[in-house]
Amino acid sequence: MSTSDLVWSERATAPAKIEHALRRLVSECHAANQHCVPARTLNLVCVVDREWSGEIANRLRRVGRYHASRTVVCAVEPGRTTIDAQATVSTEADSYEGGFSVMRELVIVHVGEHHLSDLDTIVDPLVVTDLRTVVWSPHGHPEAVDALTSGRAGGAPIAQVVLLDAVDEPDPVAALAREGELAGRSEVVDLAWLRCAPWRERLASAYDPAARRPELMTLSKVSVRYRADSLVSGLLLVGWLCDRLGWKPEALTRHGQLLRGRARARRGEVELRLEPIDRMSAPGLQGIETRSDLGTLLALERGDGGLTAHRVERSGEQHSWTVLGASRGEPGILGEGIRHALLRDPTFKPALAAASRMLA
């Protein structure tokens, strides 16, 4: 469907002028088409390096129906001392009779590195009040995230949710420590956590039948295979299992590339094993296997069109099948992250705490 845009831009501007221009654009859009209504669900603040802003723009285009109501892109340029800005209000050009067109607003603000520690004063007038605000800083800039999530002089912070991806941090220990720090003052949506969501769902459904549930109390070994940059996804999955089943994980030890350790369960100890795998095209997990003292086994493997499941029964009987549509795919993971910013996941923080203990 075709769209129409109203655009404003100004060099060496100020946040108050940008906010005034946005109000005027929204008013003009509604005057030109009375069927236009502004989307009012979520603010998204993106802090990006200007040289990589094209890549981020492409990722945002692929989020589909999960676009934020108002997106504020802070493009960081080394050495810049002034603020340049461009505001765009977009809407469907033709609305059907009796229907309406949703308008969305995009603000691009060019800032310098010295602006980042005070970014909350720049962003504050640009977000829609009374909506949740998400900050996403894929290129680092922790001072910008801190400015938007801390709040000044005891006031309310600008952003209530931090969207991040543990894959962007090369040190898993630092990644988990940073997430724990942020989770103490805001909600955290980690794309590494969302990548293991299909695996958590399929594990839970495999043991959901009443006849299978007692088997959970007899698990003796959990093995996870992951892409080399996705250790945090594996740790969060194991951390989720530990929290759900009441296990107390101990610190893992490294044996080459392999991480091994144990968790204390009610019936004894459970062996934990995390192993990196080469030749994976997308970040995330390759497979997970659970074994029990009863001799049963459940294995899930990444495959075409979903997950391949394999079960060995106590009698030795084996079954294999494909779980169709289990993987959401990497292209849609950012949209899933934006959608989860509107939700509250009570299982994430306990899984994060358990994962942190395993890398202590």
Same domain as 148, residue 207: no
Same domain as 217, residue 132: no
Scan for tokens 């849609």, then name that residue.
Answer: 332
The answer as to whether 164 is a domain residue is no
The answer as to whether 262 is a domain residue is yes
Mean pLDDT of 124-143: 96
Same domain as 125, residue 222: no
Give the count of beta carbons closer than 10 Å to the beta carbon of residue 182. Answer: 20
- Give pLDDT, residue 66: 87
Residue 257 domain boundaries: 195-358
DSSP alpha helix (H) spans, the chain: 15-32, 53-61, 119-123, 142-150, 172-183, 191-195, 197-206, 213-216, 231-245, 333-340, 348-358
Question: Picking from 41-55, 184-198, 239-253, 328-342, which range would have the lowest pLDDT averaged per residue?
Answer: 328-342
How far apart CA 51 and CA 76 sit, in angstroms, is 9
Strand segments, DSSP code E, in the chain are 3-10, 36-38, 42-49, 70-77, 84-92, 101-112, 132-136, 161-164, 187-190, 219-227, 248-249, 253-255, 258-265, 268-277, 285-292, 297-303, 306-312, 318-324
Same domain as 231, residue 317: yes
Same domain as 98, residue 25: yes
Same domain as 26, residue 144: yes
- Give pLDDT, residue 243: 97
Question: Picking from 15-19, 53-57, 238-242, 247-251, which range would have the lowest pLDDT averaged per residue?
Answer: 53-57
- Binned at pLDDT 50, 70 and 90, residue 68 comes out as very high
Specify the higher pLDDT residue, 305 or 3: 305
How far apart CA 286 and CA 302 sit, in angstroms, is 5
Mean pLDDT of 212-222: 95
Same domain as 11, residue 77: yes
- How many percent of the chain have pLDDT more than 70? 94
CATH number at 218 reads: 3.30.360
Question: Picking from 88-97, 147-156, 197-206, which range would have the lowest pLDDT averaged per residue?
Answer: 88-97
Would you give the distance in Å from CA 169 to the centre of its chain?
14
- Give pLDDT, residue 30: 82
The answer as to whether 53 is a domain residue is yes
Amino acid at 268: G
Torsion over CA: 40, 120, 56, 176 (sign): negative
User: Of 110, 142, 159, which closes a domain?
Assistant: 159
Same domain as 266, residue 148: no
- Give pLDDT, residue 325: 63
Same domain as 269, residue 154: no
Would you give the distance in Å from CA 24 to the centre of its chain?
33
The answer to whether the pTM exceeds 0.85 is yes
The answer as to whether 190 is a domain residue is no
Specify the higher pLDDT residue, 265 or 103: 265
pLDDT tens per residue, range 235-266: 999 999 999 999 999 999 999 999 999 999 99
Mean pLDDT score of the chain: 91
Mean pLDDT of 90-103: 68
- Binned at pLDDT 50, 70 and 90, residue 2 comes out as very low
pLDDT tens per residue, range 159-191: 999 999 999 999 999 999 999 999 999 999 999
Same domain as 350, residue 282: yes
- Give pLDDT, residue 319: 94
User: Of 139, 159, 179, which closes a domain?
Assistant: 159
- How many percent of the chain have pLDDT more than 90? 77
The answer as to whether 271 is a domain residue is yes
pLDDT tens per residue, range 262-308: 999 998 999 999 999 988 888 999 999 999 999 999 999 998 777 89
Give the count of beta carbons closer than 10 Å to the beta carbon of residue 147. Answer: 25
The answer as to whether 165 is a domain residue is no
* Residue 98: pLDDT over 60: no
The answer as to whether 38 is a domain residue is yes
How far apart CA 302 and CA 280 sit, in angstroms, is 10
User: Of 107, 142, 159, which closes a domain?
Assistant: 159
Same domain as 349, residue 219: yes
The answer as to whether 180 is a domain residue is no
Same domain as 352, residue 206: yes
Total domains in the chain come to 2
How far apart CA 119 and CA 142 sit, in angstroms, is 11
Specify the higher pLDDT residue, 331 or 36: 36
